[in-house]
Amino acid sequence: MPIVTRLLLFVAFLAAGPLTVHLAAAPTLEKATFAGGCFWCMEEAFEKVEGVVTVTSGYMGGQKANPTYKEVSAGGTGHAEAVEVLFDPAKTSYDKLLVEFWHNVDPTTPDQQFCDAGNQYRSAIFYQNDTQKKQAEDSKHVVERTKKFREPIVTEIVMASTFYPAEDYHQDFYKKNPLRYKVYKYNCGRVQRLEEVWGKKG
């Protein structure tokens, strides 16, 4: 290509102005934290919800920093086994996550979920802000009106504190160890009790 032609093309390029690259904006994610007994089971439940991006098993609500599974499961730290849910509010809502939460716990058992006993297995909604707090309280009132439990609902609604991710081998346990997980989930009575309380899922 003659040098004059190259110069003319370069001048035309400069005259066209700066090159603008349009990048898709990353979704703004929101956070929700729940405790419903064994975090393996809660992780499975929330990962199936459309719009949920990640679910992490961990510990919340205790006094000790960086607790281990051994410490939490012994019941000495005050933490509950919990899951931290990151979700896209354009695809799902906190209200929908609350519905999923209630349908995966027995809200009438204090310091226990199914075969797992101790305050580390309590059910709780850890709200991130005042909006989530109101939504959580409203959802509890709906459950109280629509489900006539013999016992009172004892699920806690408390402000979120520091979330400590559990050890790597607990993350996605239901995927990594499907047989062991299914045996545990059934033998613990979770499947049977949830069907008794909420009915079979469609």
Active site residues: 38
Residue type, 104: N
Q: Is the distance from CB of 155 to CB of 107 less than 8 angstroms?
A: yes
